[in-house]
Structure 1
Amino acid sequence: MISSLYFRLIVLFFLVLNFSSFAQDINSIDKILIESKRAISKLKSVKYKVTQKGLTDHSAYFEFEAVVIQQKKEVIKDVGLGMGYLKAFGQCKQKNTIEKFRFLYNGDVFVLKKGDSYEKTVSNPSIKSVPNLLHFLTQVRTMPFLNKNPYKPVGPDGYTFLGIEEQNGELCYKIFSELVGKTPKGHTVKISKTYWINKKTLLPIAYKDENHLKEIQILEINKNYPKEVFSHKNIDTSKIIDDGEVLDSINKTLGIHKLSVMPQWHAKDQNGKLWESKSLKNKVVFIDFWGTWCSPCKKAMPEIEQLYQYYKNNKQVVILGISANEKTKNAASLYFKKNGFSYAHIPNGDTIVKTFGVMAYPTIYIIDKMGNTKHFEIDYKPNSLKKWKAVINQLIQ
C-alpha cells in the first residue's frame, strides 16, 4: 500500500514538474526569441508567398500579394534589404488600380519594375543610391529572414509575450513591442510590432504594425538557388504571373472578382442614348471600366478605339466605355471628346461600377450573346488589340 502510494506521489511530482516546465516555456519571451532566431539563422534560403492587407485607408496603396525568394549571402552588400540575394514578384493595389511589380537584388544590380511604364536599375547600389525605392520594397520584405537582428523591437522594453494564438491555421506564439511618444504638438503617437511565430517551425508567419497585416505562407526552404535566378535579364512583368490559379488567388486577396453573368443595369451615354443590359442580349459586348485619373486606363483607350473602328459596322458587337470616380462631373466626357474617341461612353457610371463590383482599373469584360462573361482582365497590357479581336471573333461565329 505504502509503495503504491509512494509511486503515485512520484508520478504526480513529475507531472507537476513537467507542467511547470511547459508553462514556463510558453511564457518565456526570451526563450521564444532565442529559439526563433536560431531557426531563422539555420535558413540558407526561403521562398514564401506574402499577402498584405491595409488596416487603414491611408495604407490602401500597400495591399499586395507576392512571391518572395531570399537567399543568404554573407559577403553581399546590405542596401537595406538584408544580407543576401532577393527577388520578389506579384501585384499591388494602388488607388483602385492593380499593377504588376518585380524587384531583385543580387549584389551587382538593383532592379525595380512596376507596371509597363516604370523601371529603375541601379548598378553597384548602396543604401544611399536606392533610398526612394526602399519604402515600397521593405513593405514587401518585412519578414526578418535575412536580418542580422530579426526581432529588433520598436520600444525600449523589448517584446511582450501575449500568449498562444491561431494564425493562418497554425498555433503561434504572439509577441508584441510598442513605443508610445509625443509629437512636438503634444499628440500621443504609438508605434507597434506584432509577430506570430509558428510553434512547430519557430519561423514568423504573420506580422502587423499600425497600418498593415502581413501573412506568410512558406513554400520552400534551404534550396540552393543559382545567381542566375536573381538576374535582371528576365525582368519582363508580362511573365510575372502566368498561372491562372495564382492570378485568381491574388485577385481574391485584393478584393477583385469577376461576375460570371452580366448584371442588370441601365444608363445614358454622353450623347443621351439609353443603354440597358437587357437590350444587349444577342450581342457580344466589350466593356471597359476606366477613369481619367487612371494612367493605364488612358493607355488602353487608343487600342479600344481601334477595336471599335474594326467592328463599328458589325451589328453583333458593342464597344462600351464606362467611367467612374471622377472628381468633376464632366471630366471623363471632356477627355473622351478631346482625344477624339468615338465608341459609346457612359460618364459617371459609379452605380454600374458598384453593380459589377469593380475594384481595379481598368477592368475589361467581354460578354457573349447570352450575357455570360467570356473574358475578364485588369490592368492594361500593350498590344492587347489582337487578343481582344480573337475573343470577339470566336463569339460572333
Structure 2
Amino acid sequence: MANNNEVSKKRPPSNKLQYIKKNAFAIFMVIAVGILLVSPDAKSFVLRQLIRTGIFNASIDKKDTDTARMTNTDFTFTDAKGSIQNTSSLRGKVVFINFWASWCPPCQAEFPSIETLYNQFKNNPDIFFLTINEDNDPALGKAYLEKEKLSIPMYKSSGNVPAEMFSGSLPTTVVLDKNGKVRLHHTGFANYASDKFVKQIKELINEQ
C-alpha cells in the first residue's frame, strides 16, 4: 500500500497532455490538411492514391447528350518546333486532348495514367495525343515533364480555344472521334489507363 509520500510524487498528467491525447486524431487531420494546402506535391500524392482505388476511372459514355451537342471543337496549337496546326487537320484520327499545367496537383496526379495510355498507343497512326500546357512560361511545363521522366509531347494553344472545349478548369480532358465529334469531355482528374478506357479508345480507333 502506497504511503502519503509516494502518492504525492505521482502527479496527474497536465491538461495540455490530456488535451493532445483526447484530440490526437483531430490534431493529425488539421496538420495533414495544412500540409495538403501548402504542398502541391503532397496534394498530388494523395490524389494519385485516390486514382488507384478505381473510383475515378474515366469512361466514354455513349449516352452523354451534352457531349454529343458540342460542335465547336477546332482550335490552333503549336508543337515544340513552333509549327502551327489546327485540330481540323486531325480528322481521320482519334484525338486525346488534355489541358494541364505544371503547378496543378490534379494534373500531376493523373499524368502517369495519361503517360501509360500514350505509351500504349504512341505508335498507332490513328490516334493523336494533344496535351496542351497552360503554364504562362512553357519552360515550366517542359521542366516538369523532364523531371517526371514523362515522354508524352507538349503543345501550346496558339489561339482562342472554344469555351465548349476548355473553360479554364484544370485538368480538362476531351476525346474526339475520327469525325471531330466530342465523345468525352471531363473536367477534373481521372484515371485514363484503366482496361475499360483502353478498350473504349480501341473501339473509337476501329470505328469507320
What interval of TM-score do these two structures reach, taking the shorter chain for normalisation?
Answer: 0.5 to 0.7
Matching of residue 312 in structure 1 with residue 148 in structure 2: no
The answer (yes or no) to whether the contact 2:70–2:164 under 8 Å persists in 1 is no
The answer (yes or no) to whether the contact 2:79–2:156 under 8 Å persists in 1 is yes
The residue that corresponds to 2:105 in the other structure is 295
State the TM-score, normalized to the length of structure 2.
Answer: 0.61
The answer (yes or no) to whether the contact 2:93–2:127 under 8 Å persists in 1 is yes
Q: What number of residue pairs does the alignment pair up?
A: 158
Matching of residue 369 in structure 1 with residue 178 in structure 2: yes
Q: CA deviation at 1:348?
A: 5.9
Instruction: Measure the CA separation in 2 of the matches of 1:368 and 1:313.
Output: 18
Matching of residue 337 in structure 1 with residue 167 in structure 2: no
The answer (yes or no) to whether the contact 1:262–1:367 under 8 Å persists in 2 is no
Structure that is richer in helix per residue: 2
> Once the two structures are superposed, what CA deviation does each residue of 1:303-339 show, in whole Å capped at 9, x if it has no partner?
2122222112211111110011x24342112222333
Distance 1:300 1:350, change over 3 A: farther
3-state DSSP of counterpart to 1:356: coil
Matching of residue 392 in structure 1 with residue 192 in structure 2: no
Matching of residue 282 in structure 1 with residue 107 in structure 2: no
- Aligned-CA RMSD value: 3.6
Q: CA deviation at 1:343?
A: 2.8
Unaligned ranges ≥5, structure 2? 1-20, 32-52
> Once the two structures are superposed, what CA deviation does each residue of 1:363-388 show, in whole Å capped at 9, x if it has no partner?
11111011111122222234644343
3-state DSSP of counterpart to 2:179: coil
Instruction: Measure the CA separation in 1 of the matches of 2:70 and 2:198.
Output: 20
Letter in 2 for 1:295: P
Structure that is richer in strand per residue: 1
Matching of residue 272 in structure 1 with residue 89 in structure 2: no
Higher relative contact order (CA 8 A, sep 6+): 2
Of 35, 46, 55 in structure 2, the residue corresponding to residue 238 of structure 1 is 55
Structure having the higher Rg:
1
3-state DSSP of counterpart to 1:310: helix
Out of 384-393 and 353-362, give the one that drifted further: 353-362
Q: CA deviation at 1:125?
A: 5.6
Distance 1:385 1:328, change over 3 A: same
Superposed, which structure 2 residues align to 1:130-145 within 5 Å? 132=30
The answer (yes or no) to whether the contact 2:96–2:130 under 8 Å persists in 1 is yes
Of 100, 121, 131 in structure 2, the residue corresponding to residue 321 of structure 1 is 131
Instruction: Measure the CA separation in 2 of the matches of 1:352 and 1:317.
Output: 21
Superposed, which structure 2 residues align to 1:38-57 within 5 Å? none
Equivalent pairs: percent with the same residue?
24
State the TM-score, normalized to the length of structure 1.
Answer: 0.34
Distance 1:388 1:262, change over 3 A: farther
Distance 1:267 1:125, change over 3 A: same
Unaligned ranges ≥5, structure 1? 1-122, 134-235, 249-256
Distance 1:295 1:313, change over 3 A: same
3-state DSSP of counterpart to 2:97: strand
> Once the two structures are superposed, what CA deviation does each residue of 1:174-214 show, in whole Å capped at 9, x if it has no partner?
xxxxxxxxxxxxxxxxxxxxxxxxxxxxxxxxxxxxxxxxx
Instruction: Measure the CA separation in 2 of the matches of 1:262 and 1:269.
Output: 22
Instruction: Measure the CA separation in 2 of the matches of 1:237 and 1:130.
Output: 26
Letter in 2 for 1:390: K
3-state DSSP of counterpart to 1:344: coil
The residue that corresponds to 1:378 in the other structure is 187
Letter in 1 for 2:55: S
Q: CA deviation at 1:238?
A: 2.9
The answer (yes or no) to whether the contact 1:333–1:347 under 8 Å persists in 2 is no
Distance 1:348 1:373, change over 3 A: closer
Instruction: Measure the CA separation in 2 of the matches of 1:310 and 1:237.
Output: 19
Distance 1:391 1:307, change over 3 A: same
The residue that corresponds to 2:160 in the other structure is 351
Q: CA deviation at 1:237?
A: 9.5
3-state DSSP of counterpart to 1:331: helix
3-state DSSP of counterpart to 2:73: coil
3-state DSSP of counterpart to 1:282: coil
The answer (yes or no) to whether the contact 2:118–2:152 under 8 Å persists in 1 is yes
The answer (yes or no) to whether the contact 1:267–1:346 under 8 Å persists in 2 is yes
